[in-house]
Structure 1
Amino acid sequence: MNIAAIGTWVPEERVENAQKLAMFGMDMEFLETKLGFLRRARKPDGMSASDMGVKAFEDLEGRTALDRSAIQLLVVVTQNPDRVIPHTAAIIHEKLGLSGHCATFDISLACSGYPHALAAASAMMKAYSMSCGIIVTADPYERVIDPNDRGTSMIFGDAATATLLRQGPGYALRDVSFGTVPGSNGCLWSDPHLAMNGREVMSHVAHEVPDAMRTMLGRHGLTPADIPFVAIHQASLHVVEFVRTKLGLAETVAPFEAANNGNSASSSIPLLLSSRINQRLHERVAMCAFGAGFSWATAMIELESEVTRA
């Protein structure tokens, strides 16, 4: 199964983070050189994760020939579902009018969710001869964010993506690695508002992510220098720069592109990949995602043409 295309949806409205600087005793230098999020994308009031996912799917439909009746798997990555029951994938299934032979389930991960979903969906489709699947990422964080919380209220933005997996030309998943740091689930939690221990999160990133990427690439005789594009989860400008430096990569290879959107959680990686995947810009791409758990995943995908497959 290959990634054929990625659809995206980012709301038009933006919230300026500069408005909160005085409240939290911060200055523009911190905003521009550390946090990196000058503004955050905000969805319309009343819009749910399933609504966002439908928007991203509709964008996907506009980018590639897609028969809704052929979809056999729909996976939704979210930690902010429409309801506890039923799963959000079932709600999107109904809104899109998908067929009765389409399996649906949610993955309750946020920032580290996309590589996990890519691995799970790809493996399931290969094992059970499915020819067409969709991965939706959608995390509306507004309802769990305390606007007076210094640690989270300037970070998260709304967005959604839809990834098409099917037989034929596209990007094949070559390898993936996962991990969860023992005893680390208290670094990011909600009860009921989202709270984060930023120092602990950064410590886990430093100890886990760069080595995991090198190890995964090393299994294929590769190093980070062999990868033309690396998608690093857009946790903040400081985090992206840290991981990029540890991997010895140039800014053009592993960019920070979330200054006007914010950290979009599970949508962070596919938003970075969308234009590169859709335009087939690189033969090989790597990604690293990390977040609540503390969980992480790294993955490598490679462009596969019909000639290659033959």
Structure 2
Amino acid sequence: MANNPFAISGIGTYLPETRIDNIPRAEKFEYDLDSLASKIGFSATARKEPEQETSDLCAAAFADLGRRLGDDLDPDSLDLIVVVTQHPDGHGLPHCSAIVHDKLGLPASCFAFDISLGCSGFVSALATVSGHLMASGGQRAVIFTADPYSKSLSENDKNTSMIFGDAATATLIEPGASWRIGAFDFGTKGEKAAAIQRNAGGVLEMNGRSVFDFCALNVPKSLKRTLALNDLAAGDIDAYALHPGSKFIVDTVCKRARIPAPDVLPCAAYGNTVSSSIPLILADLDRSAAATVMVSGFGVGLGWATTILTTKDTK
């Protein structure tokens, strides 16, 4: 394991109430309903309200974090906040984290910056934030994830509209024994970056086959390397939090990595929420039963980020 003193202390979440049912859309696109379940894996996708901004989603997740932690979450104690998003407020300037900083009334001593990453963003932020705290002498940070793809997708595009959903999370990072952050495996295949992009009109486009091939080839290898980096064996892992790009992708990654695949995606009712997908999975895990968790985000870029979270004593 890496010599990282920081851990995940709590996770707040926000899922908009609005859902778009995928069954009527599948019928509209003449998409087979069996394939909707076995390939895509999402029965509906979550959508924010038109007036909600990315910073509003972050604030809602932070409010939930406060409800979960109570007095243990003192905003004045935060040394750093980071917002992981590729869909910031307005035109992206000022950075979204500065807007969140203002909305939450955080002290001037709390630094704020954005990370422009998609599916690998949360895992990457665990490394970036813990490294920043170690370098600066800070003790507490919150990682926000909020990437409302509804800002750029077309509801008439069958390749994206039935997949992506809106959500936000807020994760408290501080020294402790609860889900300590391990060693990482990272990578990027920049030559494949155009597989997920916004076109000249600002509309999201995705080459599903290219994304699938990238995940199937690279992610199982990353999981194996991460076990070795952390001096662990497959039998040491209690749970997996793999980015749910689609049911077909997750099933294929699990098959090639020789690990159990979920019967139903944990986000089946609200969709692939990009950087929020992994913390949403983690928020629902019982830490007493899932003491050691492998987390891996992969997609936009095309890139991946994988690590271990554990409450157990490490070597």
TM-score (norm 1): 0.94
Counterpart of 2:3 in structure 1 is: none
Q: 2:108 aligns with which of 100, 109, 122?
A: 100
Residue 151 (structure 2) aligns with: 143
Paired residue type of 2:274: A
Q: For residue 255 of structure 1, report the CA deviation from its aligned partner.
A: 6.4
Q: Show the counterpart of 2:274.
A: 265
Unmatched segments (≥5 aa) in structure 1: none
**Which one of the candidate residues 47, 50, 53 is aligned to 1:45?**
50
Matching residue within 114, 129, 147 for 1:121? 129
1:298 aligns with 2:303: no
- CA drift at 1:155: 0.7
Partners of 2:235 and 2:100 in 1: CA distance = 40
Structure 2 counterpart of 1:69, from 76, 91, 102:
76
- Measure, in 2, the Cα distance between the counterparts of 1:56 and 1:138: 9
Aligned pair count?
Answer: 304
Amino acid at match of 1:75: V
Separation in structure 2 between the aligned mates of residue 142 and residue 126 of structure 1, nearest angstrom: 36
Contact 1:14 1:41 in 2 (8 A): yes
Pick aligned residue for 1:210 from 220, 240, 244: 220
Alpha-carbon shift at residue 276 of structure 1 (Å):
1.9
C-alpha separation between the residues in 1 aligned to 2:164 and 2:119? 11
2:21 is aligned to 16
Alpha-carbon distance in structure 2 between the residues aligned to 1:292 and 1:268? 13
d(CA) in 2 for partners of 1:250 and 1:74?
35
Contact 1:225 1:248 in 2 (8 A): no
Change (3 A) 1:89 1:175: same
User: Partners of 1:276 and 1:77 in 2: how far apart?
Assistant: 22
What code does the residue aligned with 1:102 have?
C
Aligned match for 1:199, one of 192, 203, 209: 209
Indicate the percent of aligned positions where both proteins have the same amino acid: 38
1:123-181 CA-partner distances (Å, limit 9, x unpaired): 11112111110000001111201111121111111110000011233211111111101
Q: Displacement, 1:280? A: 4.1
Structure 2 CA distance, aligned partners of 1:219 and 1:141? 34
| Match in the other structure for 1:237 | 247
> How large is the Cα RMSD of the aligned pairs?
1.6
Match of 2:87 in 1: 80
Contact kept? 1:9, 1:56, Cα under 8 Å: yes
More off after superposition, 66-75 vs 216-225? 216-225
Q: Offset of 1:40 from its aligned partner?
A: 0.8
Contact 2:12 2:68 in 1 (8 A): yes
Note if contact 2:41-2:264 (Cα within 8 Å) is conserved in structure 1.
no
Q: Secondary structure at the match of 1:37?
A: coil
Match of 1:286 in 2: 294
Shift of 1:23: 2.4
Amino acid at match of 2:172: L
For 1:285 and 1:148, how far apart are their aligned partners in 2? Answer: 37
Q: What's the CA shift string for 1:27-65, capped at 9, x where partnerless? A: 211111111111111112210110000000000011112
1:238 maps to a residue whose letter is F
Structure 2 counterpart of 1:210, one-letter code: P
Structure 1 pair 119–255 and aligned structure 2 pair: CA distance change class (3 A): farther
Runs of 4+ in 1 over 4 A off after TM superposition: none
The 8 Å contact of residues 231 and 272 in structure 1, kept in 2 or not, is answered as yes
TM-score normalised by L of structure 2 = 0.93
Structure 2: distance between partners of 1:74 and 1:255 = 33
What SS is found at the alignment partner of 2:277?
Answer: helix
CA separation in 2, counterparts of 1:56 and 1:24? Answer: 34
- Describe the shift of the 1:156–1:125 C-alpha distance in structure 2 as closer, same or farther (beyond 3 A): same
Contact 1:224–1:247 (Cα < 8 Å) also in 2: no
Rounded Cα–Cα distance in structure 2 between residues aligned with 1:139 and 1:221: 33
